Structure 1
């Protein structure tokens, strides 16, 4: 709440469903793809953060204002991640991690919300180390694992607005492509296999806040890569299945879901706060949907390799995918129906050093086009480009700021609305 109160002095009330109905405010009239009479005012909060794939420039697009409102500097090309609250984004570079304040704050009054805005900003706090890799945002902690040193650094997200942010370093382990994640009253920290220095983890240990190893997670997770929240726990992608880890009353639980076949595995996982289904990649052109309760799995084939995929954040009913053929695909999970927008960007390779990226706000997808120096907004109802933003350079990484996916006001029709 301190962030919202501090910004209220600088900002203006831009949206309140009891005072300002849908369709008011800058740019509202131009969004025919999703009529404002059907949308909650909370769409106004979203901002799009775009990173240049060859330099350190960051551009911020305000969805309500329909314009680029700021150009910032991350110090070099970086992977971009949003935080659970939406208050910040994190830029993970080659040797440095920077934090970007979204400039959006929400005061939720249950039956309506107030939205406050101020200029986005790169914070003074930065973390340095060799090969920062996996990022996790969970339970108000932001975790960065430095692959080159085996050091996991945790930052308390609400404290980023304080003069001295709360930063916690877990005891280092052998360097590897690991991760750390908060879980209940403890932290999970990966450890590497003995025969593969610098490789993917073999499993997870449970640590107390002061760094003491309490226990090892009972099931190993060879080749651990990819995680997502599921209920009060975390799902991890392993070579031999999905590992579900939870913690209740000081007890850690773990169980494994088998893949539907041994032909592939998942490396990336997605979930939605209102749904139980886990979505993962399963080979180049296939996505996997699996139910944690009974392990029931479905496979969805795409016409081209899937390079990025996300669950639509408002309702979680669709998977939106950007494929190597340059198309944006919308997959309805209930019906398995698939639609596509042809040639959103030129065809590319999923492992290109500088490649198109995908980020989602309720009702809209944002796709970067490094070749054209543009960011395309695609309406998810019609799968048409509703507008394009010229940012120059080679826009690649992209993430949404300002959306708290646990907030009940994300989108109309969401379960809590």
Structure 2
């Protein structure tokens, strides 16, 4: 059993997870960060305990059964297993909550993973409580869960509506829907909370494609405030910030911007050589950063990694040694991570695209031609990255600041399809 006291000290600063590999000598623990200031000026929520520093947890979903596990990252102990009806895709929200989407069953299970940190600028407060399911959102074919503007919007394709929950309600252990946003028709859509309203997808004009064709702006009370002339054929992959909403289309990146209450839109071309088969299908980023990263197409046609900078509207096309299966971005925006089909984890410089480190993380290369196989996933928590290996039912923890060193490998006992980190 790892030395929990040392482990807690090592992760008291938001950045640190410094235990050694399972069954290997423990690494030297980092000193607690002086920004941690428990018990002084913020009351704990009912049922929670204030702790000395962040105690991050890993959320793991099972591709086969629908089970969702919450692990303590200091001890590798499974704190709770949630048994859902169907394989769930988990979206981690506000570094605390897990929205487990059961598309087949028409349900979204909202879980409080039970670890969070509140930043007061000059110090932080961290809290823990037992993981618990807060409730279920139900509707026709739930799909995208999007966080933004202190809200989270879940779009139900079969109903053509998004159900929106305020974070203030979640903090009170409530999943009461604060708003219902109606799209024009049922479709494979999305609602992006932004600027006290929503950028909502609009169904394709010809009605033959389930994916949307463009977007419009809805006010908080449901009125359509603005329509965009910029088309977005076969939209899939979105991101939102305080002022920008973006979406990947077959013919380029749709980018809508709000300033002084007015909306504008444009189509940003992809880099040379990127087309419908190698365009982004999803984005990864962090709050407060202008950078978004994506795999350049699905595994079957992948051509590396794409980095988009919203400040310059510029792209970096990173050529990878093998097909990029999943990607992530460091919290400071300086490094891009990718897990490749050859079984390696690679680190790239965000600005230049140059590879800076790599390590082996999969027990065997991934067979991208096997359509039934569950691909690996990568997620970032503080200064560690976590990569799932569904074939070996493990998750690898990587210290990406230390030459992509493999720090630990967890035997999670499931073919993990999605990962999330909470508590930081």
Given candidates 36, 56, 59, the residue that maps to 2:66 is: 56
SS in 1 for 2:280: coil
Structure with higher RCO (Cα < 8 A, 6+ apart): 1
* CA shift digits 1:98-144 (9 cap, x unpaired): 11102113243432222111111122x21122221112011121111
Q: Deviations over 1:30-83 (max 9, x none)?
A: 487796249788783321100111112221122233432222223321111111
- State the superposition RMSD in angstroms: 3.0
Find out whether 1:333 has 2:342 as its counterpart.
Answer: no
Match of 1:387 in 2: 408
Cα contact 1:102–1:401 (8 A) shared by 2: yes
1:290 maps to which residue?
A: 308
Distance 1:274 1:137 in 2: 13
Deviations 1:164-183 (A, max 9, x none): 53312222432221101112
Asked if structure 2 preserves the Cα contact closer than 8 Å seen for 1:33 and 1:382, the reply is: no
TM-score computed with the length of structure 2 as normaliser? 0.81
Partner of 1:308: 326
Q: Is the 8 A contact 1:229 1:271 kept in 2?
A: no
> What is residue 215 of structure 1 aligned with on the other side?
226
Match of 2:396 in 1: 376
In the alignment, which of 116, 123, 129 is matched to residue 139 of structure 2?
A: 129
Q: Which moved more, 1:88-97 or 1:371-380?
A: 371-380
Structure 1 range deviating more: 237-246 or 91-100: 237-246
- Could you say which residue in structure 1 is the equivalent of 2:4? none
Secondary structure of 1:270's partner? coil
Retained in 2: the 8 A contact 1:327–1:345?
no
Distance 1:173 1:46, change over 3 A: same
Q: Could you tell me how far apart the structure 2 residues matched to 1:393 and 1:40 are?
A: 38
For residues 31 and 352 of structure 2, the distance between their equivalents in structure 1, rounded to whole angstroms, comes to 26
Q: Secondary structure at the match of 1:158?
A: helix
Shift, 1:327, TM fit: 1.4
Q: Does 1:70 align with 2:80?
A: yes
Mapping 1:4-403, distance limit 5 Å = 30=20, 36-37=30-31, 44-83=54-93, 85-94=94-103, 95-123=106-134, 125-162=135-172, 165-167=175-177, 168-230=179-241, 232-261=243-272, 263-264=274-275, 265-283=279-297, 284-313=302-331, 315-338=332-355, 339-349=357-367, 352-380=372-400, 381-403=402-424
Moved more, 213-222 or 300-309: 213-222
Q: Closer, same or farther in 2 for the Cα pair 1:78/1:108, shift >3 Å?
A: same
Distance 1:29 1:55, change over 3 A: closer
1:8-34 per-residue CA deviation (whole Å, 9 max, x = no partner) reads xxxxxx9799xx9769x9x85548779
Aligned equivalents of 2:241, 2:152: Cα separation in 1? 17
Contact 1:54/1:354, CA 8 A, preserved across alignment: no
State how far apart, in whole Å, the 2-side matches of 1:130 and 1:22 are.
Answer: 42
Pairwise CA distance, 1:342: 2.2
Alpha carbons of structure 1 residues 229 and 360: separation in structure 2 relative to 1, 3 Å: same
**Which runs of 5 or more structure 2 residues have no equivalent in the other structure?**
1-6, 37-52
Measure, in 1, the Cα distance between the counterparts of 2:32 and 2:303.
34
Contact residue 176 and residue 200 of structure 1 kept, 8 A: yes
3-state SS of the aligned residue for 1:367?
strand
Answer yes or no: is the 8 Å Cα contact 2:12–2:55 preserved in 1. Answer: no
Aligned length: 383
Deviation larger for 132-141 or 228-237: 228-237
